[in-house]
Amino acid sequence: MTIPFKTLTAAKNAAQSGDTIIVLPGTYNENNLAKNGVNWHFLTGANLEYSGTGSALFDTTGSAASFKVTGSGVFKTTNVSGGVRAFSLANNADVATVQFDRIEARGQAIYSAGTLTATGNEAKSTA
């Protein structure tokens, strides 16, 4: 909380394994936030609302990752044609624990080839 970053991506890039990034209330339009050993905590009012194409909000394509997402985050993908997932664990070795208030996704909300524990109030998907 003492070192604020302008973007979530900047916080992820600066974080080291074992760090937890605290996400303050606001709306963020970013994706590809998974990083091995880096955890996230979303405070009430923190919304991750991605409107682009490409990788998921939290995507492990390319290298296995172990991480946690906790708190009251709202995760939303809005690209009509892209079908971007909120969480995509592409590797068998991936391990993630995800806590959320709500997920709304065009296409699949969550995909996991690894081990995923998800707890939330509401998840909506067009797939």
Place of tokens 């971007």: 84
* % the chain with pLDDT above 90: 78
* Span 29-84, pLDDT tens digits: 999 999 999 999 999 999 999 988 888 999 998 889 999 999 999 999 987 666 78
Q: Quick check: 75 and 48 in contact, CB under 8 A?
A: yes
pTM: 0.93
Amino acid at 64: A
Residue among 125, 127, 79 nearest 102 (CA) = 125
SS3 68: strand
Residue among 69, 26, 18, 76 nearest 46 (CA) = 26
* Token pair listed for 67: 């991480």
The CA–CA distances, whole Å, from 97 to 78, 83, 92 equal 23, 22, 15
Residue among 93, 86, 92 nearest 55 (CA) = 86
